[in-house]
Amino acid sequence: MTKHTGHLPFICGECGHRSALKSNLVVHMRTHTGLKPFRCPHCNYSGGSNQSLHRHVAYVHLTVAPVVCLGCSYQPNSKGALRKHYGEGEDHRSYQCTVCEKEPITYKNVLNHLAQHVDIKTATVVT
């Protein structure tokens, strides 16, 4: 329960960064050591955490964007179409994930959200 109490018992000896979870401190320490054990199977990218690898695959290798615009029900068939649709105005800036039905998701957070649905090996969305 340290996450919700504000208690941060794990402290980085290098910079003083504090964390509620030991696993988060382990990931943080990789910023000091340069260790990047999570490798992308599609390119030469390596990340310091599994989350950073999922985010990378969503941003770089995922070709679809399984979301629906809450303003007009438009479903883009690619990340490029999503980007273009976003530029059409304020009514087109909130989306719903068609995988888990989470809403609203802002355009800024669409790919971060989709990272949790990405299959690393195939660079596709899994349900």
- For residues 105 and 71, the answer to whether their CB atoms sit within 8 Å is no
Q: Which of 32, 68, 26 is closest to 51 using CA atoms? A: 26
Residue 25 has pLDDT above 80, yes or no: yes
Residue 79 inside a domain? The answer is: yes
Per-residue confidence (pLDDT) for residue 64, from 0 to 100: 87
- What integer is the mean pLDDT of 59-82? 90
Residue 41 inside a domain? The answer is: no
The Cα–Cα gap between 27 and 83 comes to 31
> 65 and 29 in one domain?
no
Range of the domain at 83: 61-125
Return the biggest CA–CA distance within the chain: 51
Residue 51 inside a domain? The answer is: no
Residue 55 inside a domain? The answer is: no
Residue 39 inside a domain? The answer is: no
**pLDDT level of residue 51 (50, 70, 90 thresholds):** very high
